């Protein structure tokens, strides 16, 4: 005779398990997880001295919560690159750019490899962001500075401080926005805080920025950040008149006050730009910086040129152009040069000085073929894979390069 009690118990167990599975699947369906990746194989006759390759995987996750909130996370995974020496084994797998956040229409809170509050601030950047000193615009900037100090022997290789990540809080309400951030170094966030406030009233804008202990390149790292450097405060005002955009900034940094003015004026397909900054730099005294630029964009042709001189008289100039031939072929060429004699030590050595030409052909479906040649105009650019172009956003290898890239 069948055991009715046990049979009923088994049926109830199956119903409960099925219900739980349905509930879990329903919850998973409301979440969004996307996977993407890229891969590149190339040949370079100078920097890489032969074939090179790399591949990466990118994960983005998001989940809608109650009351209009959304949780999200992202992670980059470097699967393989030529520095590991062989394609026959996976080698070390490194992860980077990890960020977890929660946000709604007004507020956002993020932790990890995040931007800092400074990334949202607008002003006369030549005054407060230059080759001599600059606020961190992302948490990784501080780690890069520490690594550079280790490489040049300023910091010992043992017991080096390590950046854990950054914490960014943002808020928006009507015409107003605010951002605040700190960077954690070995669990300590002292002296890394930043605050940026902004207001936009159409024809007029205003912004206020404050940062603790801004990085001054060339000085040694001490505990959390740089030894002997004061906090920075910048006030910026913007206005639009007759088609021209004007920006004025006042900075207080290292016990001195600096001033900057910038203007951009479009005339048809041409945009004219100019800036001027004045500041009593520590160790150098009263100095001035200025620059002019011309940008042209009409149909398939884009051209850009600029000339600038920094606070200690070092000059930089460039002319670059790009033409879209249609059918997926784009050609970009340029000349970037300037003073690079190494007399400023850690403050000198621009690795973007080069004469270059790039031809890129879009193969469709996220694939492209690239051929480039970059002839270095500075010692730093002769041994790098990061010659940045002003047009096209390329990061070129020194020498001749051909490569195939794929996005998935």
3 against 376, higher pLDDT = 376
Q: What pLDDT score was predicted for residue 157?
A: 67
Six-digit token pair at 58? 């990118």
Please report, rounded to a whole number, the percentage of residues in the chain having pLDDT higher than 70: 76
Res. 128: pLDDT tops 90? yes
Rounded to whole angstroms, the Cα distance separating 83 from 41 reads 13
**pLDDT tens track for 135-171:** 888 888 887 877 777 776 666 666 677 788 899 999 9
Six-digit token pair at 39? 């891969």
Whether 174 contacts 200, CB under 8 Å: no
**pLDDT tens track for 9-37:** 454 344 434 443 443 444 444 689 999 99
Res. 8: pLDDT tops 50? no
């Amino acid at each position: 005779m069948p055991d009715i009690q046990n049979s009923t118990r088994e049926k109830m167990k199956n119903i409960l398990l099925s219900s739980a599975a349905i509930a879990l699947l329903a919850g998973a369906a409301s979440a969004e997880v996307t996977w993407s990746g890229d891969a590149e194989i190339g040949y370079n006759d100078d920097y890489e001295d032969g074939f090179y390759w790399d591949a990466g995987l990118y994960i983005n996750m998001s989940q809608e919560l109650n009351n209009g909130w959304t949780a999200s996370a992202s992670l980059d995974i470097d699967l393989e690159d030529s520095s590991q020496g062989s394609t026959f084994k996976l080698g070390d797998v490194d992860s980077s750019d990890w960020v977890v956040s929660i946000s709604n229409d007004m507020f956002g809170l993020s932790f990890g490899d995040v931007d800092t509050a400074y990334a949202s601030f607008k002003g006369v950047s030549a005054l407060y962001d230059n080759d001599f000193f600059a606020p961190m615009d992302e948490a990784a900037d501080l780690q890069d500075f520490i690594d550079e100090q280790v490489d040049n022997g300023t910091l010992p290789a043992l017991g080096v401080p390590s950046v854990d990540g950054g914490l960014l809080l943002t808020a928006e309400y009507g015409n107003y926005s605010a951002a605040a951030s700190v960077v954690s170094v070995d669990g300590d966030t002292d002296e890394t805080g930043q605050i940026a406030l902004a207001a936009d009233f159409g024809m007029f804008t205003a912004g206020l920025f404050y940062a603790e202990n801004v990085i001054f390149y060339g000085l040694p790292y001490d505990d959390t950040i740089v030894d002997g450097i004061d906090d920075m405060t910048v006030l910026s005002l913007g206005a639009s008149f007759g088609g021209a955009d004007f920006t004025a900034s006042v900075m207080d940094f290292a016990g001195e006050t600096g001033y900057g003015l910038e203007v951009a004026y479009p005339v048809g397909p041409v945009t004219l730009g100019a800036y001027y900054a004045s500041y009593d730099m520590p160790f150098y005294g009263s100095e001035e910086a200025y620059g002019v630029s011309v940008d042209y964009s009409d149909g398939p042709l884009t051209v850009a040129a600029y000339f600038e001189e920094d606070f200690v008289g070092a000059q930089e100039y460039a002319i670059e152009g790009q033409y879209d031939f249609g059918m997926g072929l784009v050609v970009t060429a340029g000349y970037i040069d300037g003073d690079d004699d190494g007399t400023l030590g850690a403050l000198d050595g621009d690795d973007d000085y080069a004469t270059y030409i790039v031809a890129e052909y879009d193969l469709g479906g996220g694939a492209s073929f690239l051929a480039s040649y970059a002839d270095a105009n500075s010692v730093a650019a002769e041994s790098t894979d990061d010659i940045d172009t002003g047009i096209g956003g390329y990061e070129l290898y020194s020498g001749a390069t051909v490569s195939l890239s794929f996005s998935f």
